[in-house]
Amino acid sequence: MTNETPTLDQVLDLAHKLPREQRGQLISRLVLELTTDAPPARTPMTPDEARAALNEIREHLRTLPQPRLTAGEQLEADRRGRERALLGRWADQHEEDDVHP
Amino acid sequence: MYTLDASVIGRDFDPVDPQYAACHALIALLDQQAITVIVPRLLLAEIAGALRRLTRDPIRARLAVDTLRSMPQIQLISLDDALIDAAAEIAADYALRGADATYVAVARRHGCTLVSLDREQRERAAPLVTTCTPAEALATLRPAEPS
């Protein structure tokens, strides 16, 4: 899935990967949201559902084309990018400083 | 109790990462031993942003956040004024990045060992909290092999 706004087919494709019970929950939540015109409160996943969802994300990341940053590398790049945005060129120049108090 | 930096938790999502095995083993062991992991709620935004930018997939980024909210051993700490002030002081005194200092402040307030893959964060936070790598935490938590 690579678009800014996912298509209906992409959402359905993802929904079909959910266990049967979660597909039912998804339908219920969407119906409630449409009939009340407001997003319902989020129902927390059970720990088992969370582990299953985590595994699904892992499998998706495993299939992404290489070479690429890993999730951890992306996160660290984001942190460094934020620092560069704050400090400009000084961020890189000070990266190796040892400034222990 | 442990505070896991986002550098550790983020890697548990991605089996391609060279550090995945250690991070995944640690998080699984903490789960298995019902050891509480205390992290700033900031983690959710960091993970969501990284996964969204990596996958270009907003749905999976949200799903990742939901999994973290639903993990029984993970306790998300809201950043109150005192915690933000503490993080600011730590960032100023120990030359840590803002997000890094936030994890240190949470670890210190809750008496947690800080586990991070960021050497700078570990070294600079060491005067304030116990710090270690995922591999070191695993060695501490795993029962000694019978001789």
Please tell me the distance from the alpha carbon of residue B25 to that of residue B31, in angstroms, as a whole number.
10
ipTM of the complex in this document: 0.88
Residues in chain A with CB shorter than 8 Å from the CB of B50 are: 71-72, 74-75, 78
Mean pLDDT rounded to a whole number for chain B: 95
Instruction: Indicate yes or no: CB of B17 within 8 angstroms of CB of A70.
Output: yes
Q: How many Cα atoms are found within 13 Å in the side-chain-facing hemisphere of B1?
A: 15
Distances (CA, A) of B74 to A36, A48, B3, B89, B90: 32, 14, 9, 26, 24
Mean pLDDT rounded to a whole number for chain A: 80
- Which strands, in side-by-side order, build the sheet including B74-77? B74-77, B37-40, B2-4, B113-115, B131-132
Q: A63 CB near a chain B CB, below 8 Å?
A: no
Within 11-40 of A, beta carbons closer than 8 Å to B belong to 11, 14
Overall average pLDDT of the B95-110 stretch: 96
How far is the alpha carbon of A27 from chain B, nearest alpha carbon, in Å?
A: 16
Q: What is the pTM of this model?
A: 0.80
How far is the alpha carbon of B91 from chain A, nearest alpha carbon, in Å?
A: 11
Please tell me the distance from the alpha carbon of residue A10 to that of residue A7, in angstroms, as a whole number.
5
Residue A2, pLDDT > 90, answer no
Residue B44 is predicted with a pLDDT of: 97
Could you report the per-residue pLDDT of A39-65, keeping only the tens digit for each? Answer: 666 677 888 889 999 999 999 999 999
